[in-house]
Structure 1
Amino acid sequence: MLPYGSESSGPAFAIPHGIVLFIGGMCFIVFLAEGAALDWSAVFLAQERGIDTAYAGLGYAAFALTMTVGRLTGDRIVRHLGATRVIVFGGLTAAAGLFLATFAPNWEFALVGYALLGAGCSNIVPVLYTAVGKQTVMPESVAVPAITTLGYAGILAGPAVIGFIAHGSSLSFAFGLMAVLLVAVAIGGKVLKV
């Protein structure tokens, strides 16, 4: 923190470019998926799977539980699998979970899908933050806030984007599209080679 009246030597805002933009885009997608689980899973379970509204929050609970367990054990998981595999397997697991949550015929399978979504997403962003610290395209002090801004734009704008897509088609279509984007994150992990 700078003393009052001090001038910062870095820019107040920097547009990410190169690998930083690529990493930021991956963060955006993962946060978008988190926002989808947070704001739309209960609506989906109540409207599309007929679960009683009193229990519709179970989808997010399943997501949050596995996300929490994944984050708490993340260091061990990354050491065991390696950073690239965490992104690849995490993206594929999250995509499979969202596909299952969306297209499974009953709500019990949907809960398993949301749990897989949380498990898959749990360690992708921490690994991406580590990757942005290792890149040399932008100074770390500028790159980290840049990808943070992109990532949180996903969680803030995500629910509105999903609602807009669902309004024009269906919530199932919007979730299916989100699952495809998570597959793109898995492919991106292979390209990134962290």
Structure 2
Amino acid sequence: MILVLAAGAFGTLAIVGECRSGLIRTTFTAVPDRRAVLAAKALVVAAVAAVLGAVVAGTSFWLTQAILSGRDAGVSIGHPGAWRVVIASALLAPVAALAGLALGTLLRHAGSGVVATVVLLILLPLVLNDDRRWSAAAGHRLPCKAWLRLVETGGAAQSPYPATTGGSWLVLALWPLGAAAVAVFAGDRRDV
């Protein structure tokens, strides 16, 4: 969750910092096509967050397994489901960063953008539990719930309304696309 917080704040500050300082006006003067500028910014934010996510997920897996192997509890990367855990964990960073970028574009304030990102990515999944169908259906469409479904092992508690693995991958694929679209189109329409 620390990675989600850091990536979300990074995404928010990537746009808010430029808007707050007024440098966004200079950028838009140099390149009048706002959508192209915002799409490039979303691409750079996603790429940086993806590298960060891959480094953190890979390092976490290897360090955890090194500690657990000393206690005869470790698994190799070839273990069924190990790659799924590492890849899902790595993808969570660009999803959070682009969600932060979208909220930063909409709100144009660092504090409220970071708080909105935390509420959307961390607090809302805690409120939506799997006890009721509507709550489970809404929760399964959030990135952190999708990530939790992808990293759960065979011994995890069963929910009355479980999310599917394919649906969880779809959530992690569609959230960054939707967030990038919000950032590009909302930023294009807003006055700086």
Superposition TM-score tier, normalisation by shorter sequence:
0.3 to 0.5
TM norm structure 2: 0.37
